[in-house]
Amino acid sequence: MDGFNVRHLALVIAMSSFMGSALAATSNDFVDKAAAGGIAEVEASRLALEKSGSADIKKFANMMISDHSKANDELAALAKKHDIEVPDSTTLTKQAKEKILDMRDESFDAAYADNQVKAHEEAIALFKKEANTVTDDKVKGATELKGFAQKMLPALEKHLEMAKALQAAHPDK
Share of the chain above pLDDT 70, in %: 74
Chain segment 112-126, per-residue pLDDT in tens: 898 899 999 999 999
**Alpha carbon distances (Å) from 33 to 6, 82, 87, 88, 104:** 23, 17, 9, 12, 27
Q: How far apart are CA 110 and CA 85, in angstroms?
A: 36
Residue-wise pLDDT for 145-158, tens only, equals: 999 999 999 999 99
* Per-residue pLDDT tens digits for 122-138: 999 999 999 998 776 66
Q: Which CATH class is domain 3-166?
A: mainly alpha
Confidence of residue 6 (pLDDT cuts 50, 70, 90): very low
- Distance (Å, rounded) from C-alpha 127 to C-alpha 11? 22
* Continuous segment of H or E residues that includes residue 82: none
**First CA to last CA distance, the chain:** 6
